[in-house]
Structure 1
Amino acid sequence: MVHFVGAGCGAPDLITLRGHRLLQQADQIIYAGSLVNPALLEAAKSGCVIRNSAQMTLEQVLESIREAEAIGQTTVRLHTGDPSLYGAVREQIDALQSEGISFDITPGVSAFSGAAAALGHLGGAEYTLPGVSQTLIVTRMAGRTPVPESESIERLAAHRASMAVYLSAGMAGELSDRLICGGYSADTPAAIVYKASWPDEKTILCTVGQLPVCAQEHGIQKTALILIGEYLRGTSSHYERSKLYDPSFSTGFREASQ
Protein backbone atom coordinates (compact mmCIF):
# COMPACT_ATOMS: atom_id res chain seq x y z
CA MET A 1 0.00 0.00 0.00
CA VAL A 2 1.21 3.48 -0.87
CA HIS A 3 0.01 6.52 1.05
CA PHE A 4 0.48 9.89 -0.64
CA VAL A 5 0.62 12.38 2.23
CA GLY A 6 0.66 16.16 2.17
CA ALA A 7 3.35 17.31 4.59
CA GLY A 8 1.84 20.76 4.99
CA CYS A 9 3.57 24.06 4.38
CA GLY A 10 6.49 23.59 6.76
CA ALA A 11 5.88 23.44 10.50
CA PRO A 12 5.86 19.78 11.57
CA ASP A 13 2.70 20.25 13.63
CA LEU A 14 0.77 21.44 10.57
CA ILE A 15 0.60 17.94 9.09
CA THR A 16 -2.80 16.29 9.53
CA LEU A 17 -3.36 13.77 12.32
CA ARG A 18 -3.89 11.10 9.67
CA GLY A 19 -0.69 12.02 7.90
CA HIS A 20 1.27 11.85 11.15
CA ARG A 21 -0.19 8.45 11.98
CA LEU A 22 0.76 7.11 8.55
CA LEU A 23 4.32 8.38 9.01
CA GLN A 24 4.53 6.50 12.31
CA GLN A 25 3.34 3.27 10.69
CA ALA A 26 5.30 3.40 7.42
CA ASP A 27 7.95 0.85 6.53
CA GLN A 28 9.36 3.24 3.93
CA ILE A 29 9.11 7.03 3.60
CA ILE A 30 10.01 8.70 0.33
CA TYR A 31 9.98 12.43 0.97
CA ALA A 32 10.49 15.53 -1.15
CA GLY A 33 13.75 16.51 0.50
CA SER A 34 14.12 19.88 -1.19
CA LEU A 35 10.89 21.19 0.35
CA VAL A 36 9.63 18.98 3.19
CA ASN A 37 10.73 19.88 6.71
CA PRO A 38 13.02 17.01 7.84
CA ALA A 39 11.63 17.37 11.39
CA LEU A 40 8.61 15.41 10.14
CA LEU A 41 10.83 12.36 9.72
CA GLU A 42 11.26 12.15 13.49
CA ALA A 43 7.86 10.42 13.53
CA ALA A 44 9.28 7.43 11.63
CA LYS A 45 9.49 4.15 13.51
CA SER A 46 12.74 2.32 14.13
CA GLY A 47 13.88 0.47 11.02
CA CYS A 48 11.87 2.61 8.60
CA VAL A 49 13.70 3.13 5.31
CA ILE A 50 13.87 6.85 4.46
CA ARG A 51 14.64 8.04 0.95
CA ASN A 52 15.04 11.59 -0.36
CA SER A 53 13.22 11.90 -3.68
CA ALA A 54 15.12 15.10 -4.52
CA GLN A 55 17.97 12.76 -5.44
CA MET A 56 15.78 10.28 -7.35
CA THR A 57 14.06 10.00 -10.70
CA LEU A 58 10.44 8.91 -11.09
CA GLU A 59 11.68 5.49 -12.16
CA GLN A 60 13.78 5.14 -9.00
CA VAL A 61 10.86 6.17 -6.81
CA LEU A 62 8.65 3.57 -8.45
CA GLU A 63 11.30 0.86 -8.12
CA SER A 64 11.61 1.60 -4.39
CA ILE A 65 7.84 1.28 -4.05
CA ARG A 66 7.85 -2.03 -5.95
CA GLU A 67 10.56 -3.42 -3.67
CA ALA A 68 8.50 -2.55 -0.59
CA GLU A 69 5.34 -3.97 -2.13
CA ALA A 70 7.09 -7.26 -2.95
CA ILE A 71 7.68 -7.92 0.74
CA GLY A 72 4.34 -6.60 1.97
CA GLN A 73 5.56 -3.27 3.29
CA THR A 74 3.83 0.12 3.21
CA THR A 75 5.25 3.30 1.71
CA VAL A 76 4.46 6.91 2.56
CA ARG A 77 5.17 9.23 -0.34
CA LEU A 78 5.55 12.50 1.53
CA HIS A 79 4.87 15.56 -0.62
CA THR A 80 5.23 19.20 0.28
CA GLY A 81 2.06 21.18 1.02
CA ASP A 82 -0.86 19.39 -0.58
CA PRO A 83 -0.13 16.71 -3.20
CA SER A 84 -2.72 18.16 -5.59
CA LEU A 85 -0.73 21.37 -6.19
CA TYR A 86 2.55 21.17 -8.13
CA GLY A 87 3.23 17.76 -6.62
CA ALA A 88 3.90 15.70 -9.78
CA VAL A 89 1.60 13.15 -8.18
CA ARG A 90 -0.54 12.10 -11.14
CA GLU A 91 2.31 10.43 -13.01
CA GLN A 92 3.08 8.33 -9.94
CA ILE A 93 -0.57 7.35 -9.46
CA ASP A 94 -0.96 6.37 -13.11
CA ALA A 95 2.07 4.09 -12.81
CA LEU A 96 0.74 2.48 -9.62
CA GLN A 97 -2.68 1.91 -11.17
CA SER A 98 -1.12 0.29 -14.22
CA GLU A 99 0.64 -2.19 -11.92
CA GLY A 100 -2.31 -2.82 -9.63
CA ILE A 101 -0.65 -1.23 -6.57
CA SER A 102 -3.13 0.18 -4.06
CA PHE A 103 -2.80 3.77 -2.88
CA ASP A 104 -4.66 6.53 -1.11
CA ILE A 105 -4.17 10.28 -0.64
CA THR A 106 -4.09 12.35 2.54
CA PRO A 107 -4.42 16.08 1.87
CA GLY A 108 -2.16 18.70 3.43
CA VAL A 109 -2.03 22.40 4.25
CA SER A 110 -0.92 24.15 1.08
CA ALA A 111 1.54 27.06 1.03
CA PHE A 112 -1.19 29.53 0.04
CA SER A 113 -2.94 28.75 3.33
CA GLY A 114 0.29 28.95 5.30
CA ALA A 115 1.25 32.22 3.61
CA ALA A 116 -2.10 33.85 4.42
CA ALA A 117 -1.76 32.82 8.06
CA ALA A 118 1.82 34.11 8.18
CA LEU A 119 0.63 37.63 7.50
CA GLY A 120 -0.45 38.01 11.11
CA HIS A 121 0.47 41.70 11.18
CA LEU A 122 -2.47 42.17 8.80
CA GLY A 123 -4.66 40.05 11.00
CA GLY A 124 -3.97 37.27 8.54
CA ALA A 125 -4.87 37.55 4.87
CA GLU A 126 -8.37 36.68 3.73
CA TYR A 127 -8.30 36.07 0.00
CA THR A 128 -12.07 36.36 -0.40
CA LEU A 129 -13.00 39.66 1.24
CA PRO A 130 -16.59 40.76 0.48
CA GLY A 131 -16.62 43.71 -1.89
CA VAL A 132 -12.97 43.14 -2.82
CA SER A 133 -12.55 39.68 -4.33
CA GLN A 134 -14.40 36.39 -4.28
CA THR A 135 -11.86 34.54 -6.42
CA LEU A 136 -8.40 33.19 -5.67
CA ILE A 137 -6.15 32.39 -8.63
CA VAL A 138 -3.38 29.88 -7.86
CA THR A 139 -0.77 29.87 -10.60
CA ARG A 140 2.91 30.02 -11.48
CA MET A 141 5.29 31.50 -14.02
CA ALA A 142 6.52 29.25 -16.78
CA GLY A 143 9.87 27.61 -16.08
CA ARG A 144 11.00 24.17 -17.11
CA THR A 145 7.31 23.32 -16.91
CA PRO A 146 5.43 25.45 -19.46
CA VAL A 147 2.17 27.26 -18.73
CA PRO A 148 -0.67 27.20 -21.29
CA GLU A 149 -1.01 30.50 -23.15
CA SER A 150 -4.61 30.78 -21.97
CA GLU A 151 -3.24 30.84 -18.39
CA SER A 152 -0.57 33.49 -18.94
CA ILE A 153 0.05 35.93 -16.10
CA GLU A 154 -1.31 38.76 -18.25
CA ARG A 155 -4.60 36.98 -18.92
CA LEU A 156 -5.05 36.01 -15.29
CA ALA A 157 -4.12 39.50 -14.09
CA ALA A 158 -6.93 40.94 -16.19
CA HIS A 159 -9.39 39.58 -13.62
CA ARG A 160 -7.69 41.60 -10.85
CA ALA A 161 -8.70 38.87 -8.44
CA SER A 162 -6.69 37.68 -5.45
CA MET A 163 -3.65 35.77 -6.65
CA ALA A 164 -1.10 33.38 -5.15
CA VAL A 165 1.89 32.75 -7.40
CA TYR A 166 4.03 29.69 -6.76
CA LEU A 167 7.52 28.81 -7.99
CA SER A 168 8.24 32.29 -9.31
CA ALA A 169 10.22 34.21 -6.67
CA GLY A 170 13.34 34.05 -8.83
CA MET A 171 11.48 35.82 -11.64
CA ALA A 172 10.01 38.67 -9.58
CA GLY A 173 10.99 41.33 -12.12
CA GLU A 174 9.31 39.62 -15.04
CA LEU A 175 6.32 38.74 -12.88
CA SER A 176 5.89 42.37 -11.83
CA ASP A 177 6.04 43.58 -15.43
CA ARG A 178 3.53 41.03 -16.63
CA LEU A 179 1.11 41.66 -13.77
CA ILE A 180 1.10 45.37 -14.60
CA CYS A 181 0.77 44.66 -18.31
CA GLY A 182 -2.21 42.44 -17.56
CA GLY A 183 -4.19 44.88 -15.46
CA TYR A 184 -2.87 45.32 -11.93
CA SER A 185 -1.64 48.81 -11.12
CA ALA A 186 1.94 49.19 -9.91
CA ASP A 187 0.66 50.21 -6.47
CA THR A 188 -1.52 47.11 -6.01
CA PRO A 189 -0.63 45.54 -2.63
CA ALA A 190 1.62 42.48 -2.77
CA ALA A 191 3.53 40.28 -0.37
CA ILE A 192 6.45 37.88 -0.54
CA VAL A 193 6.16 35.04 1.97
CA TYR A 194 9.32 32.99 2.32
CA LYS A 195 9.05 29.51 3.88
CA ALA A 196 5.68 30.06 5.53
CA SER A 197 5.50 28.44 9.01
CA TRP A 198 9.20 27.43 9.03
CA PRO A 199 11.49 28.81 11.78
CA ASP A 200 13.18 31.11 9.24
CA GLU A 201 9.91 32.42 7.77
CA LYS A 202 9.99 35.91 6.26
CA THR A 203 7.06 38.10 5.21
CA ILE A 204 7.62 41.23 3.14
CA LEU A 205 4.78 43.60 2.31
CA CYS A 206 5.21 45.70 -0.80
CA THR A 207 3.44 46.57 -4.05
CA VAL A 208 3.40 44.87 -7.42
CA GLY A 209 5.86 47.47 -8.70
CA GLN A 210 8.23 46.89 -5.77
CA LEU A 211 8.34 43.09 -6.06
CA PRO A 212 11.74 42.79 -7.82
CA VAL A 213 13.49 45.26 -5.51
CA CYS A 214 12.11 43.64 -2.36
CA ALA A 215 12.98 40.13 -3.52
CA GLN A 216 16.54 41.24 -4.29
CA GLU A 217 16.97 43.19 -1.04
CA HIS A 218 15.96 40.17 1.02
CA GLY A 219 17.85 37.66 -1.11
CA ILE A 220 14.74 35.64 -1.95
CA GLN A 221 15.04 33.49 -5.08
CA LYS A 222 13.01 30.39 -4.21
CA THR A 223 10.84 28.68 -1.57
CA ALA A 224 8.54 31.70 -1.47
CA LEU A 225 4.99 32.51 -2.46
CA ILE A 226 4.06 35.83 -4.02
CA LEU A 227 0.64 37.16 -3.13
CA ILE A 228 -1.15 39.91 -5.04
CA GLY A 229 -4.41 41.75 -4.55
CA GLU A 230 -6.44 44.41 -2.79
CA TYR A 231 -7.21 41.96 0.03
CA LEU A 232 -3.72 42.81 1.30
CA ARG A 233 -4.56 46.49 1.79
CA GLY A 234 -4.84 45.90 5.55
CA THR A 235 -7.53 48.44 6.43
CA SER A 236 -11.06 47.80 7.63
CA SER A 237 -12.60 50.50 5.45
CA HIS A 238 -12.06 48.97 2.02
CA TYR A 239 -14.18 45.84 2.31
CA GLU A 240 -17.80 45.02 3.14
CA ARG A 241 -19.03 43.22 6.22
CA SER A 242 -19.92 39.57 5.67
CA LYS A 243 -23.65 38.97 5.33
CA LEU A 244 -23.25 35.64 7.11
CA TYR A 245 -22.98 37.30 10.53
CA ASP A 246 -24.89 40.51 9.80
CA PRO A 247 -27.83 40.86 12.24
CA SER A 248 -29.99 42.25 9.40
CA PHE A 249 -29.47 39.12 7.30
CA SER A 250 -31.48 35.91 7.75
CA THR A 251 -29.88 32.50 7.25
CA GLY A 252 -31.12 28.94 7.46
CA PHE A 253 -30.10 28.94 11.13
CA ARG A 254 -31.35 32.30 12.43
CA GLU A 255 -33.78 35.11 11.62
CA ALA A 256 -32.72 38.68 11.05
CA SER A 257 -32.89 40.71 14.26
CA GLN A 258 -32.93 44.17 12.70
Structure 2
Amino acid sequence: MNVKFVGAGPGDPELITLKGYHALSNADVVIYAGSLVNPELLKYCKPSCEIHDSAYLNLDEIIELCEKGVNSGKSVVRLHTGDFSIYGSLREQIERLNALEIGYDLIPGVSSFLGAASSLEIEYTIPEISQSLIITRMEGRTPVPKAESIRSFAAHKTSMAIFLSSGMISDVMTELIAGGYPKATPAAMIYKATWPDERILRGTLETLPALAAEAGITKTALIIVGECLGKSYNDSKLYDKDFKHEFRS
Protein backbone atom coordinates (compact mmCIF):
# COMPACT_ATOMS: atom_id res chain seq x y z
CA MET A 1 0.00 0.00 0.00
CA ASN A 2 1.44 3.37 -1.06
CA VAL A 3 0.72 6.90 0.16
CA LYS A 4 -0.89 8.86 -2.66
CA PHE A 5 0.10 12.52 -2.97
CA VAL A 6 -2.69 14.29 -4.83
CA GLY A 7 -2.73 17.82 -6.24
CA ALA A 8 -6.16 19.19 -5.39
CA GLY A 9 -6.10 21.93 -8.02
CA PRO A 10 -6.44 25.68 -7.47
CA GLY A 11 -9.81 25.74 -5.71
CA ASP A 12 -12.67 24.85 -8.01
CA PRO A 13 -13.49 21.27 -6.89
CA GLU A 14 -14.03 20.24 -10.53
CA LEU A 15 -10.44 21.12 -11.39
CA ILE A 16 -9.00 18.08 -9.62
CA THR A 17 -7.76 15.50 -12.14
CA LEU A 18 -9.82 12.38 -12.75
CA LYS A 19 -7.00 10.27 -11.33
CA GLY A 20 -6.86 12.49 -8.25
CA TYR A 21 -10.62 12.22 -7.82
CA HIS A 22 -10.48 8.42 -7.91
CA ALA A 23 -7.70 8.37 -5.30
CA LEU A 24 -9.61 10.74 -3.04
CA SER A 25 -12.94 8.94 -3.37
CA ASN A 26 -11.35 5.59 -2.51
CA ALA A 27 -9.20 6.84 0.38
CA ASP A 28 -9.51 5.50 3.92
CA VAL A 29 -7.34 8.30 5.35
CA VAL A 30 -6.97 11.83 3.96
CA ILE A 31 -4.49 14.39 5.25
CA TYR A 32 -5.36 17.69 3.59
CA ALA A 33 -3.90 21.20 3.68
CA GLY A 34 -6.85 22.79 5.44
CA SER A 35 -5.62 26.36 5.18
CA LEU A 36 -5.55 26.19 1.36
CA VAL A 37 -7.55 23.26 -0.02
CA ASN A 38 -11.21 23.91 -0.76
CA PRO A 39 -13.18 21.78 1.78
CA GLU A 40 -15.74 21.06 -0.94
CA LEU A 41 -13.25 18.50 -2.25
CA LEU A 42 -13.75 16.44 0.91
CA LYS A 43 -17.30 15.71 -0.26
CA TYR A 44 -15.69 13.27 -2.68
CA CYS A 45 -14.51 11.17 0.28
CA LYS A 46 -16.53 8.19 1.45
CA PRO A 47 -18.39 8.57 4.79
CA SER A 48 -16.00 6.23 6.60
CA CYS A 49 -12.90 8.18 5.57
CA GLU A 50 -10.68 9.44 8.39
CA ILE A 51 -9.85 13.11 7.67
CA HIS A 52 -7.00 15.15 9.18
CA ASP A 53 -6.24 18.85 8.67
CA SER A 54 -2.48 19.27 8.25
CA ALA A 55 -2.69 22.97 9.17
CA TYR A 56 -2.63 21.79 12.79
CA LEU A 57 0.10 19.17 12.31
CA ASN A 58 3.88 19.29 12.11
CA LEU A 59 5.89 17.18 9.67
CA ASP A 60 6.52 14.34 12.12
CA GLU A 61 2.80 14.08 12.89
CA ILE A 62 1.93 13.98 9.18
CA ILE A 63 4.42 11.19 8.51
CA GLU A 64 3.20 9.30 11.58
CA LEU A 65 -0.36 9.35 10.23
CA CYS A 66 0.88 8.11 6.84
CA GLU A 67 2.88 5.31 8.45
CA LYS A 68 0.04 4.25 10.72
CA GLY A 69 -2.43 4.19 7.84
CA VAL A 70 -0.21 2.21 5.49
CA ASN A 71 0.75 -0.29 8.18
CA SER A 72 -2.96 -0.84 8.84
CA GLY A 73 -3.56 -1.63 5.18
CA LYS A 74 -5.46 1.60 4.55
CA SER A 75 -5.42 3.78 1.47
CA VAL A 76 -3.79 7.09 2.49
CA VAL A 77 -4.09 10.33 0.48
CA ARG A 78 -2.00 13.40 1.19
CA LEU A 79 -4.04 16.17 -0.44
CA HIS A 80 -2.08 19.28 -1.42
CA THR A 81 -3.35 22.54 -2.86
CA GLY A 82 -2.71 23.21 -6.56
CA ASP A 83 0.19 21.03 -7.62
CA PHE A 84 2.62 19.86 -4.95
CA SER A 85 5.68 20.46 -7.16
CA ILE A 86 5.37 24.22 -6.57
CA TYR A 87 5.87 25.35 -2.95
CA GLY A 88 4.30 22.09 -1.82
CA SER A 89 6.85 20.81 0.75
CA LEU A 90 6.87 17.54 -1.16
CA ARG A 91 10.54 16.61 -0.96
CA GLU A 92 10.74 16.58 2.83
CA GLN A 93 7.78 14.23 3.03
CA ILE A 94 8.90 11.71 0.45
CA GLU A 95 12.42 11.61 1.88
CA ARG A 96 10.98 10.61 5.25
CA LEU A 97 8.77 8.00 3.60
CA ASN A 98 11.85 6.66 1.79
CA ALA A 99 13.63 6.33 5.13
CA LEU A 100 10.68 4.31 6.44
CA GLU A 101 10.59 2.23 3.23
CA ILE A 102 7.02 3.36 2.55
CA GLY A 103 6.08 3.66 -1.10
CA TYR A 104 4.21 6.59 -2.62
CA ASP A 105 2.48 7.66 -5.82
CA LEU A 106 2.45 11.23 -7.12
CA ILE A 107 -0.72 12.46 -8.85
CA PRO A 108 -0.18 16.00 -10.18
CA GLY A 109 -2.74 18.77 -9.99
CA VAL A 110 -3.64 22.04 -11.70
CA SER A 111 -1.51 24.81 -10.18
CA SER A 112 -3.09 28.10 -9.17
CA PHE A 113 -0.98 29.99 -11.71
CA LEU A 114 -2.79 28.02 -14.42
CA GLY A 115 -6.19 28.65 -12.86
CA ALA A 116 -5.28 32.33 -12.59
CA ALA A 117 -4.42 32.54 -16.31
CA SER A 118 -7.84 31.19 -17.23
CA SER A 119 -9.60 33.57 -14.84
CA LEU A 120 -7.60 36.48 -16.25
CA GLU A 121 -8.21 35.22 -19.81
CA ILE A 122 -4.54 35.44 -20.72
CA GLU A 123 -1.80 33.42 -22.38
CA TYR A 124 1.56 33.70 -20.63
CA THR A 125 3.50 33.01 -23.82
CA ILE A 126 2.61 35.40 -26.64
CA PRO A 127 4.69 35.22 -29.82
CA GLU A 128 7.34 37.96 -30.01
CA ILE A 129 6.14 39.48 -26.72
CA SER A 130 6.78 36.84 -24.06
CA GLN A 131 8.02 33.29 -24.56
CA SER A 132 8.91 32.51 -20.96
CA LEU A 133 7.21 32.37 -17.58
CA ILE A 134 9.07 32.91 -14.32
CA ILE A 135 7.48 31.34 -11.24
CA THR A 136 8.95 32.76 -8.05
CA ARG A 137 8.28 34.32 -4.66
CA MET A 138 9.46 37.27 -2.60
CA GLU A 139 11.88 36.54 0.20
CA GLY A 140 10.18 36.52 3.60
CA ARG A 141 10.67 34.21 6.55
CA THR A 142 11.74 31.61 3.99
CA PRO A 143 15.01 32.74 2.35
CA VAL A 144 15.42 32.91 -1.43
CA PRO A 145 18.77 32.16 -3.14
CA LYS A 146 20.54 35.44 -3.96
CA ALA A 147 20.65 34.63 -7.67
CA GLU A 148 16.84 34.18 -7.69
CA SER A 149 15.80 37.53 -6.27
CA ILE A 150 12.74 39.28 -7.67
CA ARG A 151 14.99 42.13 -8.77
CA SER A 152 17.34 39.88 -10.75
CA PHE A 153 14.46 38.10 -12.50
CA ALA A 154 12.91 41.44 -13.45
CA ALA A 155 15.74 42.06 -15.90
CA HIS A 156 14.09 39.55 -18.27
CA LYS A 157 10.86 41.61 -18.43
CA THR A 158 8.92 38.44 -19.27
CA SER A 159 5.72 37.01 -17.79
CA MET A 160 5.99 36.37 -14.07
CA ALA A 161 3.77 34.57 -11.54
CA ILE A 162 4.67 35.50 -7.98
CA PHE A 163 3.48 33.23 -5.19
CA LEU A 164 3.31 33.76 -1.41
CA SER A 165 4.01 37.48 -1.65
CA SER A 166 0.69 39.34 -1.63
CA GLY A 167 1.32 40.62 1.90
CA MET A 168 4.50 42.30 0.65
CA ILE A 169 3.13 43.70 -2.59
CA SER A 170 4.66 47.18 -2.21
CA ASP A 171 8.10 45.63 -1.78
CA VAL A 172 7.49 43.30 -4.72
CA MET A 173 6.57 46.17 -7.03
CA THR A 174 9.58 48.20 -5.84
CA GLU A 175 11.93 45.31 -6.60
CA LEU A 176 10.38 44.67 -10.02
CA ILE A 177 10.76 48.31 -11.04
CA ALA A 178 14.31 48.47 -9.66
CA GLY A 179 15.12 45.34 -11.67
CA GLY A 180 14.03 46.76 -15.00
CA TYR A 181 10.28 46.58 -15.53
CA PRO A 182 8.74 49.95 -16.51
CA LYS A 183 6.33 51.35 -13.93
CA ALA A 184 3.51 51.08 -16.47
CA THR A 185 3.97 47.31 -16.91
CA PRO A 186 0.57 45.60 -16.56
CA ALA A 187 0.11 43.74 -13.28
CA ALA A 188 -2.72 41.85 -11.61
CA MET A 189 -3.50 40.30 -8.27
CA ILE A 190 -5.91 37.39 -8.15
CA TYR A 191 -7.31 36.33 -4.81
CA LYS A 192 -8.33 32.65 -4.50
CA ALA A 193 -8.21 31.89 -8.21
CA THR A 194 -11.16 29.71 -9.38
CA TRP A 195 -12.87 29.79 -5.96
CA PRO A 196 -16.46 31.14 -5.72
CA ASP A 197 -15.14 34.24 -3.90
CA GLU A 198 -12.33 34.89 -6.40
CA ARG A 199 -11.37 38.56 -6.78
CA ILE A 200 -9.26 40.10 -9.54
CA LEU A 201 -7.41 43.42 -9.35
CA ARG A 202 -5.86 44.85 -12.50
CA GLY A 203 -3.43 47.72 -12.69
CA THR A 204 0.25 48.42 -13.23
CA LEU A 205 3.36 47.96 -11.15
CA GLU A 206 2.84 51.52 -9.93
CA THR A 207 -0.87 51.27 -9.09
CA LEU A 208 -1.37 47.67 -7.89
CA PRO A 209 -0.20 48.18 -4.26
CA ALA A 210 -2.85 50.86 -3.67
CA LEU A 211 -5.53 48.68 -5.28
CA ALA A 212 -4.57 45.76 -3.03
CA ALA A 213 -4.62 47.95 0.07
CA GLU A 214 -8.04 49.32 -0.84
CA ALA A 215 -9.37 45.78 -1.39
CA GLY A 216 -7.78 44.53 1.84
CA ILE A 217 -6.08 41.58 0.13
CA THR A 218 -2.98 40.45 2.00
CA LYS A 219 -2.90 36.65 1.51
CA THR A 220 -4.06 33.73 -0.63
CA ALA A 221 -3.41 35.74 -3.78
CA LEU A 222 -1.14 35.46 -6.80
CA ILE A 223 0.63 38.40 -8.42
CA ILE A 224 0.89 38.24 -12.21
CA VAL A 225 3.18 40.64 -14.05
CA GLY A 226 4.06 41.28 -17.69
CA GLU A 227 2.87 42.29 -21.11
CA CYS A 228 0.90 39.04 -21.27
CA LEU A 229 -1.72 41.12 -19.43
CA GLY A 230 -1.57 43.90 -22.01
CA LYS A 231 -3.52 44.49 -25.20
CA SER A 232 -0.74 43.68 -27.68
CA TYR A 233 -0.48 40.23 -29.24
CA ASN A 234 0.77 38.46 -32.35
CA ASP A 235 -0.67 35.44 -34.09
CA SER A 236 1.35 32.24 -33.76
CA LYS A 237 2.92 30.51 -36.74
CA LEU A 238 1.13 27.28 -35.88
CA TYR A 239 -2.12 28.10 -37.65
CA ASP A 240 -0.75 30.60 -40.18
CA LYS A 241 -1.98 29.49 -43.62
CA ASP A 242 1.41 30.35 -45.13
CA PHE A 243 3.44 28.45 -42.50
CA LYS A 244 4.37 24.94 -43.64
CA HIS A 245 5.17 22.02 -41.36
CA GLU A 246 5.06 18.21 -41.42
CA PHE A 247 1.28 18.01 -40.98
CA ARG A 248 0.31 20.81 -43.38
CA SER A 249 1.91 21.62 -46.71
Same fold (TM over 0.5): yes
* Structure 2: runs of 5+ lacking an equivalent: none
Q: Does residue 1:135 correspond to 2:132, yes or no?
A: yes
- 3-state DSSP of counterpart to 2:187: strand
What residue number does 2:85 align with? 84
1:167 to 147, 161, 164: 164
User: How far 1:251 sits from its partner (Å)?
Assistant: 1.4
Q: Does residue 1:195 correspond to 2:179, yes or no?
A: no
User: How far 1:131 sits from its partner (Å)?
Assistant: 1.1
Could you tell me whether the CA contact under 8 Å between 2:84 and 2:109 is conserved in 1?
Answer: yes
Could you tell me whether the CA contact under 8 Å between 2:162 and 2:223 is conserved in 1?
Answer: yes
2:229 to 226, 232, 243: 232
Distance 1:170 1:25 in 2: 38
- 3-state DSSP of counterpart to 1:244: coil
Distance 1:104 1:143 in 2: 31
Q: How many corresponding residue pairs?
A: 248
1:46-65 aligned within 5 A: 46-65=47-66
- 3-state DSSP of counterpart to 2:172: helix
Q: Does residue 1:98 correspond to 2:99, yes or no?
A: yes
Distance 1:210 1:112 in 2: 21
User: How far 1:240 sits from its partner (Å)?
Assistant: 1.9
1:15-34 aligned within 5 A: 15-34=16-35
- 3-state DSSP of counterpart to 1:241: coil
Could you tell me whether the CA contact under 8 Å between 2:201 and 2:208 is conserved in 1?
Answer: no
Could you tell me whether the CA contact under 8 Å between 2:5 and 2:106 is conserved in 1?
Answer: yes
Could you tell me whether the CA contact under 8 Å between 2:151 and 2:176 is conserved in 1?
Answer: yes
* Structure 1: runs of 5+ lacking an equivalent: none
1:248 to 237, 242, 247: 242
Q: Give the TM-score of the pair, scaled to structure 2.
A: 0.98
1:148-167 aligned within 5 A: 148-167=145-164
- 3-state DSSP of counterpart to 1:147: coil
* Percent of matched pairs sharing the same residue: 53
Distance 1:184 1:191 in 2: 14
- 3-state DSSP of counterpart to 2:206: helix
TM-superposition CA deviations, 1:75-126 (whole Å, max 9, x none): 100000001000001000001111110101011010110101111xxxx110
Q: Give the TM-score of the pair, scaled to structure 1.
A: 0.95
Distance 2:99 2:14 in 1: 34
- 3-state DSSP of counterpart to 1:82: coil
What letter matches 1:12 in structure 2?
Answer: P
What residue number does 1:126 align with? 123
- 3-state DSSP of counterpart to 1:160: coil
